[in-house]
């Protein structure tokens, strides 16, 4: 009987490990989208979207959603013209910040001229800041978390001008010649 319980427990742990590995691998193997995908936040989009600023002791002034969750940018996206390359399983880990059905976004402490939207591969509208698509990070479980900062060297908290928060902010806002072109994100990039 003990060996049966131990076997079941081992199988359950193995299955969980495989599921996590598949999610991470799936996120790493999708540069662009191979087709429409469903929105990770469900079929309904928020009735009202607010971008606001917050002070982080390590990163300085960052952008959050109305609930205080940190918003991030993905350096393999494109900001001019805006284009989102985080789709499919990537968008499960990094859910896009969707605009309301009319593309309206309210701002607090951010220049409204810098705020816009981009139409994603699945047809939904994603909020942009200075052209950069905005995302949440699923492991950020409470307002003020910044666990997504620096993930894979390509994910950074947004500043009110659309730049990278923290020390990485000193780098270029657009990819440099040594960085993969936005149209061809590196499939093996971890955390993406």
Cα(73)–Cα(35) distance, rounded to whole angstroms?
22
Cα(82)–Cα(130) distance, rounded to whole angstroms?
9
In the chain, % of residues over pLDDT 90: 58
Does residue 74 register a pLDDT over 50?
yes
60-64 and 50-56 as β-strands: parallel, antiparallel, unpaired?
A: antiparallel
Q: Is the peptide bond before 81 cis (omega within 30 degrees of 0)?
A: yes
Q: Place 149 in a pLDDT band, splitting at 50, 70 and 90.
A: very high
Q: What is the pLDDT of residue 1?
A: 54
Query: pLDDT tens for residues 56-69?
Result: 999 999 999 999 99
Q: Tally the residues of the chain.
A: 192
* Nearest CA-CA partner of 88 in 127, 33, 136: 33
- Specify the DSSP element, H or E, that contains 157: strand 155-157
Q: What is the pLDDT of residue 103?
A: 82
pTM of the model: 0.67
28-42, 87-101, 107-121: the lowest-pLDDT one:
28-42
Q: Place 131 in a pLDDT band, splitting at 50, 70 and 90.
A: very high
Helix (H, G, I), strand (E, B) or coil at 62: strand
Query: pLDDT tens for residues 100-120?
Result: 888 889 999 999 999 999 999
95-104, 120-129, 163-172: the lowest-pLDDT one:
163-172
- Domain boundaries of the chain, sorted by first residue: 1-30, 50-167
């Amino acid at each position: 009987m003990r060996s049966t319980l131990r076997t079941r427990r081992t199988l359950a742990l193995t299955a969980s490990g495989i599921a996590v590995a598949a999610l991470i691998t799936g996120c790493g193997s999708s540069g662009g989208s191979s087709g429409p995908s469903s929105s990770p936040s469900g079929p309904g989009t928020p009735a009202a979207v607010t971008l606001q600023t917050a002070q982080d002791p390590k990163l300085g002034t960052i952008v959050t959603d109305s609930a205080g969750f940190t918003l991030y940018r993905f350096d393999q996206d494109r900001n001019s013209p805006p284009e989102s390359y985080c789709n499919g399983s990537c968008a499960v880990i990094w859910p896009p910040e969707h605009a309301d059905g009319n593309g309206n976004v309210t701002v607090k402490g951010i220049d409204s001229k810098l705020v816009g939207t981009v139409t994603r591969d699945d047809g939904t509208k994603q909020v942009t800041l200075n052209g950069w698509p905005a995302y949440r990070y699923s492991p950020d479980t409470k307002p003020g978390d910044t666990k997504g900062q620096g993930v894979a060297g390509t994910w950074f908290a947004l500043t009110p001008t659309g730049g990278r928060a923290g020390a990485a902010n000193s780098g270029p806002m657009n990819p440099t010649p040594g960085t993969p072109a936005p149209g061809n994100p590196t499939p093996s990039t971890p955390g993406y």
